[in-house]
């Protein structure tokens, strides 16, 4: 019997987690930047880590939302929320207005989380999902 890993893992929960980790990293880093050398935690200001978090957040989020759209509900709202949130997150990361970086990033991450929650809601209320749950 072949087990599909995507059915075992909740990609929306993983996407929410990746987005939140990325947002917490980006929002708290400016606040902790002065204490990092004292604590010896230079890894948190590593650009490769930031790009990795942004990439993982996008890949997991996009995979979860496309999967929900194609296989279940066919509602575009979660994809639009995710796209808008990710664009705002990138703008906050690379082109933030003076002093507004944490707020812009938090708004982008909030939209990404909202997109995943919306996707979960749509998947739970779709006919395909209800049929699958009734069989199990």
Q: How many domains are contained in the chain?
A: 1
pLDDT at 111: 92
Task: Look at residue 57 in the predicted model and tell me its pLDDT.
Answer: 81
| Rounded Cα distance, 54 and 62, in Å | 12
Prediction pTM value: 0.67
Kindly state whether residue 5 falls inside one of the protein's structural domains: no
Residue 36 lies in a domain: yes
Residue 66 lies inside a defined structural domain of this protein: yes
* Domain range for 64: 10-135
Interhelix angle 77-94/101-124, rounded to 10 degrees, is: 160
Does residue 92 sit within a domain?
A: yes
Evaluate whether residue 65 is within a structural domain: yes
pLDDT tens for the chain, 136 residues long, are 444 444 545 777 777 777 777 667 666 656 555 565 566 555 555 678 778 878 888 888 888 889 888 888 889 999 999 999 999 989 988 888 888 888 898 899 889 889 988 888 887 776 655 555 555 5
Three-class secondary structure of residue 26 per DSSP: helix
């Amino acid at each position: 019997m072949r087990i599909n890993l995507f059915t075992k893992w909740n990609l929306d929960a993983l996407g929410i987690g990746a987005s939140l980790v990325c947002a917490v990293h980006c929002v708290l880093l400016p606040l902790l930047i002065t204490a990092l050398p004292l604590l010896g935690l230079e890894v948190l200001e590593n650009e490769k880590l930031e790009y990795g978090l942004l990439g993982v957040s996008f890949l997991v989020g996009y995979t979860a939302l496309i999967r929900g759209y194609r296989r279940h509900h066919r509602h575009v709202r979660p994809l639009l929320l995710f796209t808008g949130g990710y664009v705002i997150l990138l703008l906050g990361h690379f082109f933030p207005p003076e002093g507004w970086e944490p707020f812009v990033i938090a708004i982008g991450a909030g939209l990404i989380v909202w997109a995943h929650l919306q996707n979960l809601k749509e998947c739970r209320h779709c006919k395909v999902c209800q049929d699958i749950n009734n069989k199990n």
